[in-house]
Amino acid sequence: MGHRFYQFYTLRASVLSSAFKAKEIKSNPMKRVLLMSSLALAIVMAGCVVTSIYPYYTSKDVTFNPALVGSWVENPGETNNTEVWTFAKAGEDAYKFTLTKSSETNEFSAHLFKLKDSLFIDFMPMEKHDDFIPPHYLMSVAQIQPTFKASLMSYEWLGKLLEKDAHTIRYVMVPEESGNTNKQRFVLSADTKELQKFVLKHLKTEGAFEKEIELQKLEAKSKP
């Protein structure tokens, strides 16, 4: 399929202590942060991506654009597109985001939202059960028509920024593998207000976002 913006990644978590329950995480933000910092994370990904405990948007930020609905690929002319992004309307103002790569299909709940004059997509895995805390991912959206252009925040850039100043934004360190504390990654624990302030501050910062991907919409096949 040519150059890929990123390959599919999944984030799965198992709770080390049964003292915490999913309902406690939702009702108490502090417990949510503490729980995230005590998780053993098994991460299967091609490259690290920035993950957040809290969403990047509030209800007042959410918008809906029907132009996003459909299937998107890098090159519609290729007969064997190995990666397809599909957005479907889900409820009043949300999307079901399906990422198909080769034989794998993964589903996310996504929200298009606006901060000042900039568009973003917050998406998280639709999988829900007691031992899994779905992480939030962020895409900066440059445009939706005539082509879809978006980019993810750079994990490498943010990691270097946190090394210089650990107080740049709140985060926790979590092990990448169960029982292995030698190899860790950071997960943002800042609340939504702090996340938004940080994103807007660095939206134009060089290197803050990965190389932009451009996707084209597949034409819907007409029924015979």
Q: Could you state, in order of their start, the residue ranges of all structural domains in the chain?
A: 10-55+64-217
pLDDT digits (tens, 9 = 90+) for 7-32: 333 333 332 222 223 333 333 444 33
Q: Which residue has the higher pLDDT, 74 or 19?
A: 74
Predicted confidence at residue 133, as pLDDT, reads 74
Q: Work out the pLDDT band at 112, boundaries 50, 70, 90.
A: very high
Instruction: Give the chain's mean pLDDT.
Output: 78
Tally Cβ neighbours within 10 Å of residue 196: 20
Angstrom distance (rounded) from CA 152 to CA 148: 13
Q: Work out the pLDDT band at 222, boundaries 50, 70, 90.
A: very low
Q: Work out the pLDDT band at 102, boundaries 50, 70, 90.
A: confident
Locus of tokens 């360190």: 173
Predicted confidence at residue 207, as pLDDT, reads 95
As a dihedral over the C-alpha atoms of residue 69, residue 125, residue 8, residue 41, rounded to 10 degrees, the angle is 170
Got the DSSP string for 153-176?
A: BPHHHHHHHHHH-TTSS-EEEEEE
pLDDT digits (tens, 9 = 90+) for 122-146: 999 887 766 667 889 999 999 999 9
Q: Which residue has the higher pLDDT, 105 or 147?
A: 147
Predicted confidence at residue 185, as pLDDT, reads 85
> Is the pLDDT reported for residue 95 higher than 80?
yes
| Rounded average pLDDT over 90-114 | 91
| Rounded average pLDDT over 98-107 | 85
Predicted confidence at residue 129, as pLDDT, reads 65
pLDDT digits (tens, 9 = 90+) for 155-209: 999 999 999 999 999 999 888 766 666 778 899 999 999 999 999 999 999 999 9
> Is the pLDDT reported for residue 35 higher than 90?
no
pLDDT digits (tens, 9 = 90+) for 37-58: 222 222 333 347 899 999 999 9
Got the DSSP string for 8-64?
A: --EEEEEES-TT--HHHHHH-HHHHHHHHHTEEEEEE-SS----BSS-S--GGGEE-
